[in-house]
Amino acid sequence: MPDSLDRPLRLILASSSRYRRELLERLRLPYEVIVPAIDEAPLAGEAPAATALRLAEAKARAVALGIDAGQRALVIGSDQVATFDGHPIGKPGTHEKALAQLQAMRGREVEFHSALCLLDSGDGSAQVEDVVTRVRFRDLPDAELDAYLRTETPYDCAGSAKSEGLGIALLDAIDSNDPTALIGLPLIALTRMLRSAGYPLLRGAR
């Protein structure tokens, strides 16, 4: 619980992602960003959902280790793994790899695991949740896929399509109970966790 409603706990986002920062800004809460230093490689034989959950908590715990013992903070860790035909899909990095991803996924469904962890550095307790989003891609010709990529250059996004931007034109349907999960930070789940931790969510808004 926070020390008082007038002085809430520090809120720290354990992420280097600009997309997660932009999403957290929507809550109008004071927060800090500390980038965790962890190995994000999946473990051998690890299921995609398990990878996302493990890394979300690992990011939060890595940042919590650097917080002074006399302080308390709520640390937000998040990780997303996209899967297609049961295999994880990484960030393409290049135009050629992004085009290959979109070509393989057109007319098909892709599953995104957006894992979230809210860690209380005071006692080490953590709330964790995997928010699943299913996305069905339209069956579009190569020329349209290529034109989209050259317009939005989403090479740092798993799945090669930004649903919050022009990438929505590539999608036929999105099935999720948290619309922000696909972008990278499930805000419905996060606000639920913050309330459970006693954080004065609306009174702390700026």
Is the pLDDT confidence value at 178 over 70? yes
Mean pLDDT value across the chain? 91
Over the stretch 3-14, which tens digit does the pLDDT of each residue have? 444 456 899 999
Residue 203 has pLDDT above 80, yes or no: no
Mean pLDDT of 156-173: 91
**pLDDT per position as a tens digit, 64-79:** 999 887 788 999 999 9
Whether residue 160 has pLDDT greater than 80:
yes
**pLDDT (average), residues 21-34:** 95
Res. 205: pLDDT tops 60: no
pLDDT score of 4:
42
Higher pLDDT: 138 or 159? It is 138
- Residue 34: predicted pLDDT: 96
Identify the band that residue 206 occupies on the pLDDT scale cut at 50, 70 and 90: low
Q: What is the mean pLDDT of residues 155-165?
A: 88
One-letter-per-residue 3-state SS of the chain? CCCECCECCEEEEECCCHHHHHHHHCCCCCCEECCCCCCCCCCCCCCHHHHHHHHHHHHHHHHHCCCCCCCCEEEEEEEEEEEECCEEECCCCCHHHHHHHHHHHCCCEEEEEEEEEEEECCCCCEEEEEEEEEEEECCCCHHHHHHHHHHHCCCCCCCCCCCCCHHHHHEEEEECCCCCCCCCCCHHHHHHHHHHCCCCCCCCCC
Known active-site residue 172: no
State whether CATH 3.40.50.620 applies to domain 10-196: no
Domain boundaries, the chain: 10-196
Question: Does residue 15 have a pLDDT over 70?
Answer: yes
Catalytic residue among 79, 120, 130, 178: 79
pLDDT at 174: 95
Residues 90-148: tens digit of each pLDDT: 889 999 999 999 999 999 999 999 999 999 998 999 999 999 999 999 999 999 999 99
